[in-house]
Amino acid sequence: MRTVIIIPARFHSSRFPGKPLANILGKPLVEWVAELSSIAVGKENVYVATDDQRIESFVKSINVNCIMTSYDHLTGTDRVAEASNYVEADIYVNVQGDEPLVNPNDIKKIINEKVNSGKDVIKGYCELTDFENPENVNIPKIIFSDNGYLVYASRSVIPGSKKKIEKKIYKAVCIYAFDKNNLNDFLSYGKKSKLEEVEDIEILRFLELGTNVKMVETEGNSLAVDIPSDIYEIEKFLKEKK
C-alpha cells in the first residue's frame, strides 16, 4: 500500500496572508512541515498542494513535490482532494501546512489506524496544554464517544456542563488520513455543510455526510500557526527545547 502526505498551502489566508512562507527561525513554515512529513513517509511521498506560484517556486527550490490546484477551494481538504487526482495512492494524509511541530510518529500512528479502520476517516487529537486558553476560538475543540469516534468539533469550549466540575478539554490535531472515496465524497459535496459553515471546521462535513471519524490521540506538541503572533510562541518553544 502506498501512502502519501499532501500538505495544503494557500497563500491568501484570511487571518494570515502569506502564512506558508512565514519565517520561523530562518526557515519558512511550509519547509518545517515538509521536512517532518518526510521523516514519516519519505520525501518522495510528500507533496505540497498550493494555488500560488510563490509557494510553488519555493517548494520546488527545496526539491519537494508540488501540485498546483484551484484558487477557489473552500478548505484544505478540498485542495487535498483535487491533488489526489494527480497522485496514485491507497492512503492520503492531510498534514496541515500550519503545523511546524508535527510529530512524524504521530503521522505514522494515524496511518496505521487508517490501515486497520477501512472506510473511516482518521483524525488526531490531544489534550490542551496548560498555556493554551480553551476560550481561544482559533483552537477547534473536540468531543468523542467512548469507542473513540468524533461526536462534534467546535470553536466553543466543549463539553459544557451546568456544574462546576473538572474536565479535560481536547483539541483537534490537524493530521487526517483518507482513502480516495473519502476525498471524492468530501469534494463532490460542492459546498460547506451547515455546521461546517457555522463553526468553520472542515471535519464536520464528514459527520454531515455520515462518515465515521475515528480519533487517534497524539503524543507530540501541537502548536499551529493561525495568526502572526503564533510565530513568536512557536519560536519561543523551539528555542527552549533546543
Rounded-to-10 torsion of CA 235, 238, 224, 160? -110
- Residue 82: CB atoms within 10 A of its CB come to 19
**Average pLDDT for 111-139:** 93
- Percent of the chain at pLDDT > 70 equals 98
Residue 144: name the closest of 237, 207, 55, 90 by CA. 207
- Would you state the pLDDT for residue 14? 72
Domain boundaries, the chain: 3-226
Q: Residues 92-103: pLDDT tens digits?
A: 999 998 888 899
Is the whole-model pTM more than 0.85? yes
What does the alpha-carbon distance between residue 113 and residue 103 come to, in Å, rounded to a whole number? 16
Q: What is the CA radius of gyration of the chain?
A: 17
Residue 13 has pLDDT above 80, yes or no: no
pLDDT band at 242 (very low <50, low <70, confident <90, very high): low
187: left (phi over 0), alpha (psi -120 to 50) or beta: alpha
pLDDT, tens digit, 9 for 90 and up, residues 19-62: 999 999 999 999 999 999 999 999 999 999 999 999 999 999 99
CATH class of 3-226: alpha beta
- What is the per-residue pLDDT for 2? 97
Asked if the model's pLDDT at residue 221 lies above 70, the reply is: no
Task: Give yes or no for residue 195 having a pLDDT over 80.
Answer: yes
Q: What is the mean pLDDT of residues 223-236?
A: 85
Average pLDDT of the chain is 93
**String of DSSP letters for the chain:** --EEEEEEE-S--SSSTTGGG-EETTEEHHHHHHHHHHHHH-GGGEEEEES-HHHHHHHHHTT-EEEE--TT-SSHHHHHHHHGGGS--SEEEEE-TT-TT--HHHHHHHHHHHHHHTT-EEEEEEEPPTTS-TT-TTS-EEEE-TTSBEEEEESS-SS--SS------EEEEEEEEE-HHHHHHHHHT-S--HHHHHHT-TTHHHHHHT--EEEEE--S------STHHHHHHHHHHHHH-
Looking at residue 220, its pLDDT comes to 66
